[in-house]
Every structure is written in structure tokens, then in C-alpha cells.
Structure 1
Amino acid sequence: MKNHSKALPLLMVGTGIILFSICDAIFKVLTSIGIYWWDFLVFGVPFEILTIFVIALISKNFDTKLVYRELVPRKFFFPVLRGLLSIVAIASLFISLKELPLSLTTMLIQTTPIWMGVISLFTHNEKLSILTLLSILLGMIGIIIIVNPSVELNGAGKFFIFPVIVAVINAFMNFIITKRPNDAKPMSYAFILFILNGLAGLIVWIYFGCNFPNLYQFALIFISGLIGAIAFLFVSYGYSIAKGHFARTGVMGYIQLPSSILLGIIFFNEFPSIIAYLGCVFIILAGLMVLNSKSN
């Protein structure tokens, strides 16, 4: 790959990750004012779908046939699987943001590149290496340091599993779009994901009682939905053109850490502990080792 071809996936994923950081901060506000994940899916997803549709129309000069090809997958299995996985991820994210600080949630989600390294071990074109094994071990040590096994599991400690679930699912979702780029275009991957999110949210929303947001809540949902749709497009396009650089591109996820910590300090007065920073350093080092092992 030429240098600009290598840099483009990193730039796109990095931009998307920063936008996701902003979304996470808004999500945390929403969880504090009585909005659940299914409320967001019901009222936020329509804006995401509309954003995708408008972008498709403009980019294809309002040619309906080209828009159809852009939004409808060639094969449905993996786009649908990715959409279903995302439902679990967003539910876990909302639970984590409600019960844990934004920075701590982000630190544990930063294990995504490590899980991407684990997944890459089982692919035919990415062989096992000692460096990769060491990176996985180092990342797990980082998780243990942050989680701190001495934490009482009947308190906030029991919620540490949720950001880890998000990280693992993110790794699988990124893997799908990197390894199956011919099944669907990046925009159709996002389009199917949002449709499934909306349907799942509607079912749960009706089951728990129809809760309508007020104007302030609705405005935050609208903003987060718009930013989230654009972020998904950046990340989807980035991974779709990453090709053999799946693990390398995944390391760009670490950009979310400083941005989330900064947002947490400014808006939520959350200051991570020194021990949490230490665990974070282990996780980042692990990710950089994955990057190095995949670039050799």
C-alpha cells in the first residue's frame, strides 16, 4: 500500500473514534436524566437512518438506483449479524455509562484492539506470534489493574463487565467489516445496523411502557444520533479499506482515551485514579505491540 493509502483508514477511524467520544459523553448525560438505551434507539435511530439516507442521496446525485445499490447489502448475513451484535453493545454501553465514570468506561473499551489481536489469531492470513501473545497478556494485566479484583462485586464493581463486553463486540464488528467488504458497502453496513437497532429499541420501548422524552432530552438524542451516524460512517469506511491492516487500524481506538478523559474532567468532574492510569498504560502498550506485530 502507498503511504496515503495506509494513512487514510487510520485518519477515518481516528476521526470516527473522536466523534464516538462526544456521543459517549452525551449518552452519559442522557442516562442521568432518565433516558434508557431503548429510548435512544427509538428516538435517536431515525435521525441516524435519515442522515445515512441524505448522505447517500447527495453522494449519488439523487440517482435512486445508485442509492439503492449503496444502501442494500449484496449479502445480508454479516450485515445483519453486525447489527444484532451492536444492539448488545449499545445496551452494555448505556449500563456502563450510567454506573461507571466516563473515563473508566473508556479505559476498558480501549481493550478493543487487544480483542482484535485475539480474533486475528484465528484467521488464516494472520499467524500467531510471541509478540502478539505478549501483547494479549499485557492487555489482560491492564484490565485486572483497572478492574481491581478487590473491588466489591455487589457495588459498582459488578458493572466492569459491561465495557469489556462492548470492547469484545466492537472487535467482532470491526472484524466483520474488514474481512467481508464485498458483502456490503460501508454505508449499507451502517444502514442495516441502524434499522435493526431501531426495531429492537421499539420492541423493548413498548414492553417497558412508552416513555416520551421532553424537549431537552429530545435535543440531546437528536445531536447524539446525528454525530453517531457520521461516526459510524467514518469507522465503517476506515475498516472497509484497511484490508490486511485490521489490527493496525484498530489501535486508532486509543484516541478515544484522552478525549474521553478530557470530557469527563470538564463536564462530569471525574478524575481517574493513578492505578487506573497505570492499567491504561498497560493496555496502550499492548495495543502498540499488536500494531508492531501486524506491521512486520
Structure 2
Amino acid sequence: MISTAPPIPMSRNSAGILFLIAGIAVFAVQDLILKLLSGTYPLHQAMVMRSLTAVPFLLILVKLNGGLSTLITPGLPRMIGRGITMFTAYTSYYLALAALPLATTVALYFAAPLFITLLSVLILNEKVSILRWLAVGTGFAGVIIMVRPGSDLFDWAAPLAVVSGLTYGVSMVSARRMGSHETAAALAFWGNAVFLVCALILSAIFGSGEFAGAGHKSVAFMTRGWVWPTGFDTLLMMACGVIAAAGLTLLTQAYRIAQSNVVAPFEYTALIWGVLYGWVFWSDWPDATGWIGIAIIVGAGLFVIWLERVEAYTSRQ
């Protein structure tokens, strides 16, 4: 017998989780593409192509979220400042990606929630419990385990991934300070505009190849001169722009319709893609020490998110 009962609607939190998981999966493809391109093309060339391709998609997003008037507000200098911070975060991340295994880079980047807690105290004067401080300290211990300072396995690209987490944390805290005055679409548009301008500046400096360095992979990825791309590689670079716009839309929708402390833990699904792509494309698999560091960082980050949820619930009672 076929039931005629109406389907049970999906909860906003469940839908938000699905949007977030999809957004993370989309951005993981961008990481994969940039790592594949890092041995042939310079980062600034890929970023120029990515940013130019994203412009029309972001303009559509702006149009659907309040219109073009949302782009010119008293908060424009702050949005541009946040864009510069985001550019620093992602440039550091992509440079680390060129030299480190994908899973290692993603794991070190996820020190960001720990930095956000620290910066919330320093910048926003928020109160943090002893338990959260313990979680932050434990998480940073996991970072040290993965960076392995002083060992033969240490790579100077590892601190770049940590810097990425720090500057990403600064950008998130600055967004929190802006409150609800700016739309997510406007933040994304100006962030992309800053990306484009900064990438063009880097291209003007390094595009000729005069300062190209053939040593460390991260240095080569930054200083290599522009290379005439194949048709397929051009499509890959342009795909990064589409991915950025699509991923941003999915993540924005996730946090718009669902509680942030419910969907935030699913950000860590990025590690699944990092391990999977690293294994499939480069035969990279974290060693025992790497897995320990990953487990500590993820565990500490999830504990911080859980504590925030408990504290928010308690404050409402």
C-alpha cells in the first residue's frame, strides 16, 4: 500500500548540515586543483584567473542579497581590510599546499577555531572558561606535534599553514565585529576584489620570472613567472572561480538557515577529502605521528565548539 501522507519536511539544521558538507566538498576540489597546478604555474596567475571568473557569479549573488547598494556602505574600509586578511590567509594556505601533503595542510589550517578563541579574548574582550583554555592549549600541542620543529621531517611550509589558520581567525573575528551591518555577499565580493588586486600586484612583481626560485616548492609557487596555460589548465583555473562562488553560496546558506554551533563541526569533513585526495593523487598517507596530531587538533576544535554551544544554552536559561 502506497502512503499518501505528506513528506516530513527537513529541519533547518539538517538542511544546513547538508549545505555545509556540500560546500566543504566543493572547496576541497579547489584545493586539489591548486595543488595539481602548483608544480607548473605560479600562484598569482591562478589567483588572477580564479578571481576574474568569480566576478559575474558574485555579482549575481550580490543582486540576490540586497542589490548593488549593499556594496557601498560606511563599513567598506573594514570589508577591504578583512579582504586583505583573507588574502593573507589563503595565500599562506596555498603556498603550504604546494609543499605539504594535503591532509597535513588541512589539519594545520584547522587550528583556526583555536586562534578564534584566543583572538576573541584579545580583540572582543570575551570571557573564556578554563575548560576552553585547556582545549586551546591541547589543540596547539597537536599543532606542534604535526609541525615537528627540530626534526628531520620539519618543513618550512608547515608554519605557513599555521599562519593561514591565524589570519583566517583574525578575519572571522573581524566579521563578528561587523555584526549584521554587512551582507555575506558584499563581504565575498570585496574579498574577491582584494584577491584580484593583490594577485595582479604579485603578478607585476613576479610575473616576468625574474625572481623565480627553483628551491623550495612554496617559494617556486610564489615566484615562478607566468606560463602560457594549456586549454585544459585554463579551464581548471577558471573552475576555481566557479568553485569559489558556488562554495561560498553553499556555506553562506548553511550558516544562514541553521545554528552555527550545530553545523560548524561538519567543517572537519574537509579532512576526509584531504586524506582521500592526497592518497589517490599523490599516495600520501599520514604516519602515526600525523594521525595523533590530527586527532588532537580535531578533538580540541570540536570540544571548543561544544563548549560554546553549552555556554550559549546556559546563558539563555
TM-score range, shorter chain: 0.7 to 0.9
Q: Say if 2:36 is the partner of 1:20.
A: no
Decide whether aligned partners of structure 1 residues 106 and 235 sit closer, same or farther in structure 2, where only a CA change above 3 A counts.
Answer: same
Unaligned runs of 5+ in 2: 1-9, 209-225, 311-317
TM-score (norm 2): 0.80
Give 1:63's aligned residue: none
The CA distance in 2 between the partners of 1:282 and 1:123, in whole Å, is: 26
Give 1:215's aligned residue: 231
Q: How far off is 1:125 after superposition?
A: 7.7
The CA distance in 2 between the partners of 1:185 and 1:270, in whole Å, is: 39
Q: Say if 2:258 is the partner of 1:252.
A: no
The CA distance in 2 between the partners of 1:113 and 1:104, in whole Å, is: 16
Q: How does 1:221-240 map to 2 (within 5 A)?
A: 221-236=237-252, 238=254
The percent of aligned pairs where both chains have the same amino acid is 22
Give 1:129's aligned residue: 129
The CA distance in 2 between the partners of 1:121 and 1:16, in whole Å, is: 29
The CA distance in 2 between the partners of 1:53 and 1:292, in whole Å, is: 36
Structure 2 residue corresponding to 1:201, chosen from 199, 208, 217: 199
Q: How does 1:145-160 map to 2 (within 5 A)?
A: 145-152=145-152, 157-160=155-158
Unaligned runs of 5+ in 1: 61-65
Q: For residue 283 of structure 2, what is the amino acid of its counterpart?
A: N
The CA distance in 2 between the partners of 1:14 and 1:221, in whole Å, is: 23
Contact 1:104 1:276 in 2 (8 A): yes
Q: For residue 187 of structure 2, what is the amino acid of its counterpart?
A: Y
Q: For residue 192 of structure 1, what is the amino acid of its counterpart?
A: W
Q: How far off is 1:236 after superposition?
A: 4.3
The CA distance in 2 between the partners of 1:124 and 1:83, in whole Å, is: 19
Q: How far off is 1:167 after superposition?
A: 1.0
Decide whether aligned partners of structure 1 residues 6 and 30 sit closer, same or farther in structure 2, where only a CA change above 3 A counts.
Answer: same
The CA distance in 1 between the partners of 2:107 and 2:49, in whole Å, is: 28
The CA distance in 2 between the partners of 1:125 and 1:248, in whole Å, is: 24
- Alignment coverage as a number of residue pairs: 283
Q: Say if 2:164 is the partner of 1:166.
A: yes
Q: How far off is 1:124 after superposition?
A: 5.5
Q: For residue 263 of structure 1, what is the amino acid of its counterpart?
A: Y
Q: How does 1:26-37 map to 2 (within 5 A)?
A: 26-32=33-39, 34-37=40-43
The structure with the largest alpha-carbon Rg is 2
Q: For residue 275 of structure 2, what is the amino acid of its counterpart?
A: I
Q: How far off is 1:179 after superposition?
A: 3.7
Q: How far off is 1:11 after superposition?
A: 4.9
